[in-house]
Structure 1
Amino acid sequence: MRIRNFSCPSVAGHGQWPLNGSGTRRVRGLQTQASPDELFNYTSGRWIFNEHLRLAERHLKFDAHALHRVMATASNRSATDIVSFSKMAEGGFNRLFEATFNDGHRVIARLPYPATVPEHYTVASEVATLDYLRLHGITTPKVYAWSSTKANPVGAEYIVMEKLAGIPLGETWYTMTPKEQHGIMKQIVEWETRLMSLKLPASGSLYYQKDIPSERSVALRDPGDGFCIGPIAHYGWWHEERAVMEIDRGPWTTSNAIFRAIGERELKWTEAYAKPRLPYERLYREIYNLRKIPPDRHIENLRNYLNLSTCLGFKAASPLDRPVIRHPDFQPNNILVSETNEIVGLLDWQHSTILPLGLAAGMPRHFQNYGDPESESLRQPQTKVPPEFNSLSQSEQASIRETMRRRIVHFLYAALTLRSNKEHYDAIFDQSVILHQRLFKSAGTPWEGNSITLQADMIRTVQNWPILTGGHSIAGAGACMLRPFEYADAVIQETLELDARQKEADTAMEQMRDVVGVDELGWVSNDKYGAAKETACEIKTKMLQASDTPADLTASRDHFPFDDFDEDS
């Protein structure tokens, strides 16, 4: 399977903001007479590989009439007053339904899929988060009714909430003038600054104390309505067997404790459950000669990480140690705007977490343009098209406009954050913070045959130890002033070479997905499914034709990244 120098043609429209979650799309026209298949199954798109798994994860059977009654009772109305009931949207974790009553009142019901974890904590935390933020002036949907257990007449967990006025920003962004876009970005940073200014005593997730009575928690004094910070509700801490393991999920009152907990979590899981396997990323497999990788190296890396973790974290009372809450999926389709382009509310707070600023800091994924030298230098971008623009093809013009848009959004987010939220700005570009974040991410990534990324990040951390120990790092004093250990030159060379090859494979995979028009899970809209399958087939044919050796042929034939495969082996 050839991954070197894989070049792909540009795709018109690439780079536009996707909707929330893998494969989230709004569904229109499924009224009350919709069949159970339409209500219970995912219908908003297709997957070009392992579709049976993705559909099974999203299959949600429930009592629709019981849901009607719950939505009506929560609205102080009768179920007979419902004139329309439709599937409104569905994504990677939830399905949304909208009920319209005969007086025009509308409410939304969000039902997590059975595969969405953690059970109980996901719903209980989101409800508390929505209520807490509303009390602090952050407009979120008002919760009318909810159940964090399937043991109810509906037969599923649910949240019934108000439908906020406004339309998703993603539906209007490309019709806005540059001046209007500037105004929106200014509001986005202002809302985020308000959110990050909330004073919170620990890291974890928000709950009502009554909903986690037996859990370790830290009470919130402001407001005094029974809120607390309890176990972290992010799904990564509950993935697969982690849901039943005895591990430290918080709350944490120091940043160092979080760095230790995530390493202990993954070490405990890997020692108990990991087995030799092919790398999940199929373009990695040829790097390792299509052999199964044992978890031994990753276990060793995690043990080394835990030795290193005593020096990770931020000084108490420093800005980087301060717990902050950020939107878990801060992207345009979760931002509602009015007809006058005023932000009126923020949607989708599922899996919200509170983390130290040094871990939470960063440009939201949909507003960043890393990889572009102009954006990374934070130079003010051009707002006028080049002189030859009108003589270019439509696809070339679209590419130029998209490049300009991405640069402008990246620059505006940084510049406006510097102006109104300097602590966050400083954290985003702090090299010690970046080293901390990379280690935290790679240590917490579930092992799926990749033993190299964590080791490479630890090598870079040790090599840059003076940077890590600078600023507000707890490593700036005592025993942590010295490197905790060293790597042999041969280990450094092998690891960094393998890491470079994996990154090359990542780039090739991203290019291939762009050409096919799918996301990381192979999702594509219904109307583009046929074309995506055809393009993937063409790529596989070309790779087979270009195979020079039996190993190349086997890799292209049996490990093609857009074919069905066993995700656990």
Structure 2
Amino acid sequence: MNTARLSNGASHNDLFRYTSGRWVYNEPLRLAERHLEFDVFALKRIITATFDHPASDIVKFFKLSEGGYNRVFQANFADGKCVIARLPYPSTTPEQYTIASEAATLNYLRLHGICTPDVYAWSSTKENSVGAEYIIMEKLSGTPLGDKWYSMTPKEQYGVMKQIVELETRLMSLKFPACGSIYCQTDLPQEKNIPLSDENAGEFCLGPIAHYSWWHDERSTLNIDRGPFLSSTDIFRAVGDRELAWTKNYAKPRLPYERLYREIYDFSRVSPESHIGNLSDYLHMARCLGFKAGTSLDRPVMRHPDLQLSNILVSDSNEIVGLIDWQHCSILPLGLAAGIPKHFQNYGDPDSEQLKEPQLALPSDYDSLPDSEKICVRETFRKRLIHFLYAAFTKRMDEDHYDPIFDNSVILHQRLFKSAGSPWEGDSITLKADMVRAIQSWSTLSSTDCVGHGKATCSVPPVSYSEQVTRDTLKLDARQKEADVAMEQMQEVLGVDVLGWVPNDAYETAKKQAREMKNKMLEVAGTPSDVTGVQDHFPFDDFDETA
């Protein structure tokens, strides 16, 4: 592979490897997942051919950004035009469907007036001159909202939140005949698909869900139903069938992936057999979990798959000019899709959970507080404001969406769907605990909008557990949740995400803090078992993720 220098001084090797951050543990694995070699000159030729330009018209080609699933490059033409090329990492799944669905989704949304990048060219297979999947698209004008968000005034944030909910309301008003992901019909000639029949969507169809959860690891080889789904009951069933098939065929006894769970199980390997039993119980329950046909909860809706600040582009006057990064976009029943986006939530704060209108006046002693406390005060105000504004604007603009956000039955359905669909990594308790809670709240779960309401087969829970099993399950679940909180607190201290990622300039400090944290934990370890737990299972050391 040619490693000549590029116009901005970077070598081709810099284009192939991940350089946007570091991982405090298992870094070689994370880097290997993101290493992608491709023919740079072939990609540039495809970009220029799209506009009938010679390759020499590209005056600058450079890596613009790197995310969890893609590497983004920018090509600048002599006439000032800028074009974006996104290439998924080798670890990104599903192959072929990921790019095919995203390209179709972007084109479909533009037809319906949603401002997304124009797609110029794409390939959903590696069998091309580039040697990798790619999608070439317009670079939208605007600044990522994250670059401005924390310096905005409350009034400015108010205006942006109003626009965000307006955009979501438009998205969720689009009508779909089923649940799945969007494709061009020509990309699914041999597969089950449902044409989109509205006048602007003749070339599009709904096909298999393109979300990675249906394809990662060996799931891509399983002969399972990935949609499109005509009923919400089918989705609840299919997610359980998927995980049951994977667990039966591929799961082996292992230590829990979450290292703070391991002490709970005496640092012993956990057998997948109990999870197989849990999934079988879930599938008995799943026939009662769908939402009644014709209700708002059953209506298929589209939402942005990752509505975070960096994917919202705004103008200098803070007008939203576009939404980017639609990879893995899925259409789901409103009862599963509803909720405040993760990056705008403030759950855990009593004021936010009660939807109290936030008071924006600073406390009387604010000026005398240390700078660190001033930052905490402002951040608390900001989080409360954003949570409240999202809920308030949604109630005003889209009550069909607002109601299920706070509906206990919907919340129970969503928890069951999530825990049943989570890959088994040594945790056999979360799903069982969610089923126990569903049984305890069965009259709430089986509401008037659920298919099971009024049916003899679903008037009582189809699964039951003894009082002893219920107590033991909830006790273990509580211990795991305590471990989750402890892990989140340690991650916050180190400034790392759930995979241990930090910005490059914070890596050495985070590694040092992790070593100090481990040493302090060893100092206070009271028993040989405690010492073993810290020494061999410290959550920020390298470890075998499959063990």
Match of 2:267 in 1: 290
Q: Does residue 502 of structure 2 align to residue 524 of structure 1?
A: yes
How many angstroms does 1:239 deviate by? 1.1
How many angstroms does 1:224 deviate by? 3.8
Match of 1:492 in 2: 470
User: Which amino acid is the alignment partner of residue 537 of structure 2?
Assistant: H
Separation in structure 1 between the aligned mates of residue 117 and residue 55 of structure 2, nearest angstrom: 21
Q: 1:140 aligns with which of 111, 116, 119?
A: 116
Q: Aligned to 1:67, what secondary structure does the other structure show?
A: helix
| TM-score (normalizing by structure 1) | 0.94
Question: Which stretch of structure 1 is more off in the superposition, 538-547 or 169-178?
Answer: 169-178
Spell out the pairing of 1:309-324 with structure 2 (5 A cutoff).
Answer: 309-324=286-301
Q: 1:502 aligns with which of 480, 483, 507?
A: 480
Separation in structure 2 between the aligned mates of residue 425 and residue 547 of structure 1, nearest angstrom: 48
- Structure number with the bigger relative contact order (C-alpha 8 A, sep ≥ 6) is 1
Match of 1:413 in 2: 390
How many angstroms does 1:483 deviate by? 1.9
Spell out the pairing of 1:41-120 with structure 2 (5 A cutoff).
Answer: 41-120=17-96
Preserved contact between residue 525 and residue 531 of structure 2 (Cα < 8 Å) = yes
Spell out the pairing of 1:299-310 with structure 2 (5 A cutoff).
Answer: 299-310=276-287
Q: 1:217 aligns with which of 186, 193, 199?
A: 193
Q: Does residue 450 of structure 2 align to residue 466 of structure 1?
A: no
Separation in structure 1 between the aligned mates of residue 177 and residue 239 of structure 2, nearest angstrom: 20
Q: Does residue 214 of structure 2 align to residue 249 of structure 1?
A: no
Separation in structure 1 between the aligned mates of residue 412 and residue 355 of structure 2, nearest angstrom: 20
Aligned residues: 541
Q: 1:39 aligns with which of 15, 37, 40?
A: 15
Q: 1:334 aligns with which of 303, 307, 311?
A: 311
Preserved contact between residue 7 and residue 59 of structure 2 (Cα < 8 Å) = no
Q: Does residue 208 of structure 2 align to residue 231 of structure 1?
A: yes
Q: Aligned to 1:84, what secondary structure does the other structure show?
A: strand
Separation in structure 2 between the aligned mates of residue 414 and residue 308 of structure 1, nearest angstrom: 31
Match of 1:26 in 2: none
Separation in structure 2 between the aligned mates of residue 307 and residue 172 of structure 1, nearest angstrom: 49
Match of 1:19 in 2: none
Separation in structure 2 between the aligned mates of residue 214 and residue 383 of structure 1, nearest angstrom: 57
| TM-score (normalizing by structure 2) | 0.98
How many angstroms does 1:485 deviate by? 2.7
How many angstroms does 1:167 deviate by? 0.6
Q: Aligned to 1:474, what secondary structure does the other structure show?
A: coil
Question: Which stretch of structure 1 is more off in the superposition, 172-181 or 237-246?
Answer: 172-181
Separation in structure 2 between the aligned mates of residue 144 and residue 485 of structure 1, nearest angstrom: 52
- RMSD value over aligned CA atoms? 1.0
Separation in structure 2 between the aligned mates of residue 406 and residue 31 of structure 1, nearest angstrom: 43
Match of 1:11 in 2: none
Preserved contact between residue 432 and residue 471 of structure 1 (Cα < 8 Å) = no
1:226-260 deviation per Cα after TM superposition (whole angstroms, max 9, x unaligned): 10000000000001110011000000010000000
Q: Aligned to 1:118, what secondary structure does the other structure show?
A: coil
Question: Which stretch of structure 1 is more off in the superposition, 334-343 or 73-82?
Answer: 73-82
How many angstroms does 1:31 deviate by? 4.6
Separation in structure 1 between the aligned mates of residue 496 and residue 519 of structure 2, nearest angstrom: 18
1:188-240 deviation per Cα after TM superposition (whole angstroms, max 9, x unaligned): 00000000000000001000010011110111011243100000000000011
How many angstroms does 1:79 deviate by? 1.1
Separation in structure 2 between the aligned mates of residue 157 and residue 425 of structure 1, nearest angstrom: 38
Preserved contact between residue 285 and residue 461 of structure 2 (Cα < 8 Å) = no
Separation in structure 1 between the aligned mates of residue 233 and residue 14 of structure 2, nearest angstrom: 47
How many angstroms does 1:427 deviate by? 1.1
User: Which amino acid is the alignment partner of residue 528 of structure 2?
Assistant: P
Preserved contact between residue 256 and residue 426 of structure 2 (Cα < 8 Å) = yes
Separation in structure 2 between the aligned mates of residue 532 and residue 148 of structure 1, nearest angstrom: 38
How many angstroms does 1:178 deviate by? 1.3
User: Which amino acid is the alignment partner of residue 230 of structure 1?
Assistant: G
Question: Which stretch of structure 1 is more off in the superposition, 384-393 or 30-39?
Answer: 30-39
Q: Does residue 106 of structure 2 align to residue 130 of structure 1?
A: yes
Q: Aligned to 1:71, what secondary structure does the other structure show?
A: helix
Preserved contact between residue 284 and residue 463 of structure 2 (Cα < 8 Å) = no
List gaps (5 residues or longer) in structure 1: 1-28
Separation in structure 2 between the aligned mates of residue 424 and residue 273 of structure 1, nearest angstrom: 38
Q: Aligned to 2:279, what secondary structure does the other structure show?
A: helix
List gaps (5 residues or longer) in structure 2: none
Separation in structure 2 between the aligned mates of residue 249 and residue 409 of structure 1, nearest angstrom: 35
Q: Aligned to 2:452, what secondary structure does the other structure show?
A: helix
Match of 1:161 in 2: 137
How many angstroms does 1:36 deviate by? 2.1
1:394-430 deviation per Cα after TM superposition (whole angstroms, max 9, x unaligned): 0000000000000000000000000001000001111
Q: Aligned to 1:261, what secondary structure does the other structure show?
A: helix
Separation in structure 2 between the aligned mates of residue 77 and residue 339 of structure 1, nearest angstrom: 32
Q: Does residue 274 of structure 2 align to residue 274 of structure 1?
A: no
How many angstroms does 1:470 deviate by? 1.3
User: Which amino acid is the alignment partner of residue 53 of structure 2?
Assistant: R
Separation in structure 1 between the aligned mates of residue 57 and residue 13 of structure 2, nearest angstrom: 24
Preserved contact between residue 432 and residue 473 of structure 1 (Cα < 8 Å) = no
Question: Which stretch of structure 1 is more off in the superposition, 483-492 or 105-114?
Answer: 483-492
Preserved contact between residue 378 and residue 411 of structure 1 (Cα < 8 Å) = yes
Q: 1:545 aligns with which of 500, 523, 530?
A: 523
Q: 2:184 aligns with which of 208, 225, 233?
A: 208
Match of 1:187 in 2: 163
Provide closer, same or farther for how the CA distance between residues 304 and 478 of structure 1 changes in structure 2, counting only shifts above 3 A. Answer: same
1:378-399 deviation per Cα after TM superposition (whole angstroms, max 9, x unaligned): 0001111100000000000000
Separation in structure 1 between the aligned mates of residue 52 and residue 264 of structure 2, nearest angstrom: 61
Provide closer, same or farther for how the CA distance between residues 422 and 228 of structure 1 changes in structure 2, counting only shifts above 3 A. Answer: same
How many angstroms does 1:356 deviate by? 0.3
Preserved contact between residue 32 and residue 86 of structure 1 (Cα < 8 Å) = yes
Match of 2:454 in 1: 477
Separation in structure 1 between the aligned mates of residue 542 and residue 339 of structure 2, nearest angstrom: 35
Separation in structure 2 between the aligned mates of residue 37 and residue 371 of structure 1, nearest angstrom: 44
Preserved contact between residue 218 and residue 230 of structure 1 (Cα < 8 Å) = yes
1:506-551 deviation per Cα after TM superposition (whole angstroms, max 9, x unaligned): 0000000000110000000000000000000000000111111111
Q: Structure 1 stretches (4+) deviating beyond 3 angstroms?
A: 29-33
Separation in structure 2 between the aligned mates of residue 243 and residue 485 of structure 1, nearest angstrom: 30
Separation in structure 2 between the aligned mates of residue 37 and residue 341 of structure 1, nearest angstrom: 37
Separation in structure 1 between the aligned mates of residue 483 and residue 315 of structure 2, nearest angstrom: 43
1:158-205 deviation per Cα after TM superposition (whole angstroms, max 9, x unaligned): 000000011101111122221111000000000000000000000010
How many angstroms does 1:32 deviate by? 4.3
Separation in structure 2 between the aligned mates of residue 218 and residue 54 of structure 1, nearest angstrom: 37
Preserved contact between residue 74 and residue 160 of structure 1 (Cα < 8 Å) = no
